[in-house]
Amino acid sequence: MISMQISTVTENYIHDLIASGRREDGRDTNDYRQISISHGTIPNAEGSAEVTIGSTKVLVGVKLGIGSPMPDKPNEGNIITSAELLPIASESFEMGPPSPEAIELARVTDRGIRASGIIDTKALFLEEEKVWDLFIDAYILNYDGNMFDACTLAAVAALSTARMPKYEDGKVIREGNLGRLKTNNMITSCTFAKIGESIVLDPDGNEELFMASRLTISNDKDAVRAMQKGLSGSFSPKDIENLIDITFSKSTELRKHIENIKGE
Amino acid sequence: MSGSDKPELIINGKRLDGRGMDELRDIRIEAKVIKNAIGSAYIEWGNNKILAGVYGPKEALPKHVSDPERAIIKCRYAMSPFSSLEEHGRTGPNRRSTEISKVTKETFENVMLLEQFPGSEIDLFIDVLQADGGTRAAGITAAAVALASSGIPMSDIPYAVSVGKVGSELVLDMNKIEDNYSDADLPLSISPRTGDILLLQMDGNMTKEEIKRAIEMAKKAGQKISDIQKAALKLSYERTLEKYKI
Q: What is the CATH number of the domain that holds A76?
A: 3.30.230.70
List of residues 6+ apart from A40 with CB closer than 8 A: A48, A49, A161
In a domain, A15, yes or no: no
On the 0-12 / 13-18 / 19+ scale of CB atoms within 10 A, A94 is exposed
- Give the per-residue pLDDT at B1: 44
Is the CB of B106 less than 8 angstroms away from the CB of A111?
A: no
pLDDT digits (tens, 9 = 90+) for B85-116: 887 888 788 999 999 999 999 999 999 999 99
- To the nearest whole Å, the CA of A1 is away from the closest chain B CA by 11
Domain limits of chain B? 16-239
Nearest chain B residue to A226, by CA: B203
Are the beta carbons of B200 and A106 separated by less than 8 Å? no
Mutate to test the interface with B, among A224, A239, A241 (most CBs of B within 10 A): A224
Residue stretches of chain A with pLDDT short of 50: 1-2
Q: What local confidence, expressed as pLDDT, does residue A3 receive?
A: 54
Residue of chain B nearest A242, judged by CA positions: B208
User: Is residue A19, in this structure, part of any structural domain at all?
Assistant: no
Number of domains in chain A: 1
What are residue B202's DSSP bridge partners? A227
Question: Which among B96, B184, B196 is the nearest to A234, CB-wise?
Answer: B196
Q: Which residue of B has its CA nearest to A80?
A: B95
Axis-axis angle for helices B208-243, B135-150 (nearest 10): 40
pTM of the predicted model, to two decimals?
0.89
Given the candidates 3.30.230.70, 3.30.70.120, 2.30.29.30, 3.30.70.240, the CATH classification of the domain at B16-239 is 3.30.230.70
The per-residue pLDDT for B41 is 97
What residues are paired with B199 via a beta bridge? B189
Rounded to a whole number of angstroms, the distance from the CA of A103 to the nearest CA of chain B is 6
pLDDT tens digits along B184-207: 999 999 999 999 999 999 999 999
Q: Percentage of chain B with pLDDT > 90?
A: 88
A223 interfacial to chain B (CB closer than 8 Å): yes
Residue A205: burial class (beta carbons within 10 Å; 0-12, 13-18, 19+): middle
- Kindly list the residues from chain A whose CB atom is less than 8 angstroms away from the CB atom of residue B216: 237
Instruction: Give, in degrees to the nearest 5, the angle at Cα A260 between A256 and A263.
Output: 135
A2 domain-assigned: no
Residue B3 has pLDDT above 70, yes or no: no
Contact (CB<8Å) A100/B3: no
Evaluate whether residue A89 is within a structural domain. Answer: yes
Residue B44's DSSP bridge partners are: B28, B49
Average pLDDT over residues B232-246: 90
Interface of B with A (CB under 8 A): 1, 3, 86-87, 95-96, 98-99, 101-103, 106-107, 109-110, 184, 186, 191, 194-208, 211-212, 215-216
Name the residue among B176, B189, B179 with its Cα closest to residue B144. B189
Residue A63, domain member (yes or no): yes
What pLDDT, on a 0 to 100 scale, did the predictor assign at position B174? 97
Would you state the torsion angle of the CA atoms of residues B8, B13, B16, B21, taken in this order, to the nearest 10 degrees? 110
A247 inside domain:
yes
- Determine whether the interchain pair B195/A236 forms a contact, defined as Cβ–Cβ distance below 8 Å: yes
**Nearest by Cα to A261 from A41, A19, A44:** A41
Print the domain residue range for A232: 28-263
How near does any CA of chain B get to the CA of A175, in Å? 33
A62, A162 Cβ separation under 8 angstroms: yes
Asked whether the beta carbons of residue A114 and residue B203 sit closer than 8 angstroms, the reply is yes
For A129: left if phi > 0, alpha if psi spans -120 to 50, otherwise beta; the answer is left
